[in-house]
């Protein structure tokens, strides 16, 4: 499936590329089902290596995380509640956690305020630089690589001959967003300073209650995934060999490498066997979606624990190659009332809830290996109440646009 490639301005000194990925709709079930009043999504991640040290995970959700710890493995948790009902008064909702989460009795799900954008008007300066795109595991790059995207030419409407980006044809998975909910709440947010500690646990009972949705209750027996660690070592011919530990409960793996060089050139490589970059693979994915992506050779199977970065990527990227590796995990789904076993009985749940898991790491290809960048053990010195303030970060746009903006020094 092809995707659209369009020019997007996100900074005074850059015209940035944004790739939109089209997702296929899930085939309808034979059972008649009505939409729920409330939808709840809970995304739980484990970060190691530079992802833990920098306090940032994937690009798309970097501003939606709350984490704690030093350069040890740390945890991220993203909570979103959407409802078709209006609040009785000002919107208010809480997620009541098990004691092992070390977040106190609850965390507030805050409805964000819509404010006008404070981005300055963009001057007419011409974009500069190129993006060199590689893909596939192997000592050398495959045919027709790299695809070279010249930002100045793209701004004039000139695209590389035969350029295409392969989208991820995965089943459509429901999302909870401010834009698709009558009333919406989320955590992390600016109302609380609580953070997760490195030894926080999700095991136990969870309850979500508010004034715009039915009460939601479920119990989790799946905790955060173990960290993914590994090694990046030189291989014959100038390539780089990536290897990592087999993460329990992992459903698949995906790796990518990025470099920004002086002069405006950037290099991007992905482990996918086709031109599939960003989009869904930077998010939490269901086991069903991962199985399809493995079949499409976009995601590596859970049995694979190594991949070679081609020598051309290393040569083109120079010394500042940043790598990232994802291990997708299991998923837990809950609903009330539960779906009837008899498909002839119509089903109209009051609420549905989904918990997704993943583990990821980041590292410098020419720096220390992933394993040596993190100390062993858990952070026993973390405040049990989780009231340590998170480090302040610049607000960057998600996705490829934000990544390229930061890499090009365009600011966040």
Burial of 13 (0-12, 13-18, 19+ CB in 10 A): middle
Find out whether 59 and 69 touch, Cβ atoms under 8 Å.
no
Q: Is 193 helix (H, G, I), strand (E, B) or coil?
A: coil
Higher pLDDT, 155 or 382: 155
CA distance 59 to 300: 20
Residue 230: pLDDT band (50, 70, 90) is: confident
Find out whether 72 and 107 touch, Cβ atoms under 8 Å.
no
Six token digits for residue 229: 């660690």
Find out whether 329 and 248 touch, Cβ atoms under 8 Å.
no
Burial of 78 (0-12, 13-18, 19+ CB in 10 A): buried
Q: Other C-beta atoms within 10 Å of 304: how many?
A: 15
Find the mean pLDDT for residues 302-314.
95
Six token digits for residue 113: 């305020």
Find the mean pLDDT for residues 68-88.
84
Q: Percentages helix, strand, coil for the chain, rounded to the nearest 5?
A: 15, 35, 55
Six token digits for residue 63: 């501003």
Q: What H or E segment, with its residue span, contains residue 312? A: helix 311-317
User: What pLDDT, on a 0 to 100 scale, did the predictor assign at position 27?
Assistant: 36
User: What pLDDT, on a 0 to 100 scale, did the predictor assign at position 200?
Assistant: 94
Convert the pLDDT of each residue in 386-397 to its tens digit: 444 444 444 444
Residue 9: pLDDT band (50, 70, 90) is: very low
Residue 162: pLDDT band (50, 70, 90) is: low
Higher pLDDT, 304 or 377: 304
Q: Is 392 helix (H, G, I), strand (E, B) or coil?
A: coil
User: What pLDDT, on a 0 to 100 scale, did the predictor assign at position 1?
Assistant: 37
Higher pLDDT, 233 or 403: 233
Six token digits for residue 244: 């990592």
Which of 19-23, 128-132, 161-165, 269-273 bottoms out in mean pLDDT, i.e. has the lowest?
Answer: 19-23
Q: Is 360 helix (H, G, I), strand (E, B) or coil?
A: strand
Strand order in the sheet with 204-210: 106-108, 93-96, 204-210, 216-220
Six token digits for residue 409: 């020094």
CA distances in angstroms from 296 to 3, 48, 166, 256, 273, listed in the order given? 16, 28, 10, 17, 8
Average pLDDT in the chain? 77
Which of 137-151, 197-211, 242-256, 358-372 bottoms out in mean pLDDT, i.e. has the lowest?
Answer: 358-372
Find out whether 226 and 359 touch, Cβ atoms under 8 Å.
yes
Closest by CA to 410, choosing from 151, 231, 202, 99, is 151
266-270 and 306-309 strand pairing: unpaired
Torsion sign, CA atoms 297, 289, 364, 227: negative
Phi, psi (degrees; rounded to nearest 5) at 12: -60, -30
Residue 226 in this model has a pLDDT that exceeds 90: yes
Residue 351 in this model has a pLDDT that exceeds 80: yes
Most confident of 54-58, 63-67, 79-83, 154-158: 79-83
Find out whether 409 and 13 touch, Cβ atoms under 8 Å.
yes
Find out whether 167 and 359 touch, Cβ atoms under 8 Å.
no
User: What pLDDT, on a 0 to 100 scale, did the predictor assign at position 101?
Assistant: 96
Residue 7: pLDDT band (50, 70, 90) is: very low
User: What pLDDT, on a 0 to 100 scale, did the predictor assign at position 298?
Assistant: 92
183-187 and 204-210 strand pairing: unpaired
Convert the pLDDT of each residue in 94-145 to its tens digit: 999 999 999 999 999 999 987 666 666 556 666 778 889 999 999 999 998 9
Higher pLDDT, 5 or 209: 209
Rg of the chain's alpha carbons, rounded to an integer?
A: 22
User: What pLDDT, on a 0 to 100 scale, did the predictor assign at position 15?
Assistant: 28
CA distance 305 to 310: 17
Find out whether 62 and 91 touch, Cβ atoms under 8 Å.
no
User: What pLDDT, on a 0 to 100 scale, did the predictor assign at position 76?
Assistant: 93
pLDDT cut 70: percent of the chain above it: 69
The owner of tokens 């290393």 is 314
Instruction: Give the DSSP letter string of 75-143.
Output: EEEEEEEEESSPPSSS--EEEEPPGGG-S-SEEE-BPPPP----PPPPP-PPP--EEEEEESSSSS--T
Instruction: Give the DSSP letter string of 166-220.
Output: B----B------GGG-SEEEEES-TT------TT----EEEEEEESSS--EEEEE
């Amino acid at each position: 499936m092809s995707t659209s490639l369009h020019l997007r301005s996100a900074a005074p000194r850059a015209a940035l590329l944004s790739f939109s990925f089209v997702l296929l709709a899930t085939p309808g079930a034979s059972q008649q089902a009505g939409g729920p009043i409330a939808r709840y999504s809970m995304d739980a991640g484990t970060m190691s290596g530079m992802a833990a040290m920098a306090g940032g995970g994937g690009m798309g959700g970097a501003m939606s995380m709350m984490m704690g710890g030093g350069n040890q493995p740390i945890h991220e948790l993203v909570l979103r509640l959407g409802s078709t009902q209006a609040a009785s008064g000002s919107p208010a909702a809480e997620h009541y956690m098990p004691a092992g989460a070390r977040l106190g009795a609850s965390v507030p799900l805050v409805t964000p305020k819509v404010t006008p954008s404070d981005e300055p008007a963009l001057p007419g300066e011409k974009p500069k630089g190129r993006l060199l795109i590689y893909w596939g595991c192997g000592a050398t790059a495959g045919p027709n690589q790299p695809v070279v995207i010249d930002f100045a030419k793209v701004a004039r409407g000139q695209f590389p001959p035969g350029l295409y980006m392969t989208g991820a044809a995965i089943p459509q998975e429901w999302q909870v967003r401010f834009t698709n909910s009558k009333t919406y709440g989320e955590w992390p947010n600016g109302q609380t300073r609580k953070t997760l500690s490195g030894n926080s646990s999700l095991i136990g009972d969870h309850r979500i209650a508010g004034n715009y949705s039915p009460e939601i209750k479920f119990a989790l027996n799946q905790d955060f995934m173990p960290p993914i660690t590994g090694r990046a070592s030189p291989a014959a011919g100038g390539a780089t060999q990536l290897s990592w530990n087999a993460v329990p409960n992992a459903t698949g793996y995906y790796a990518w490498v990025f470099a920004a060089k002086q002069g405006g050139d950037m290099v991007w490589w992905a482990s996918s066997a086709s031109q599939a970059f960003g989009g869904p693979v930077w998010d939490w994915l269901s086991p069903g979606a991962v199985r399809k992506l493995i079949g499409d050779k976009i995601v590596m199977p859970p049995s694979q624990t190594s991949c070679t970065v081609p020598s051309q990527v290393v040569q083109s990227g120079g010394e500042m190659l940043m790598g990232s590796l994802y291990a997708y995990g299991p998923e837990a789904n809950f609903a009330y009332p539960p779906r009837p076993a008899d498909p002839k009985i119509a089903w109209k749940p009051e609420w549905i809830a989904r918990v997704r898991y993943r583990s990821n790491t980041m590292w410098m290809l020419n720096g220390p290996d992933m394993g040596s960048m993190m100390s062993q053990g858990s952070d026993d010195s973390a405040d049990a109440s989780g009231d340590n303030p998170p480090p302040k970060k610049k607000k960057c746009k998600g996705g490829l646009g934000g990544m390229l903006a930061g890499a090009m020094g365009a600011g966040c």
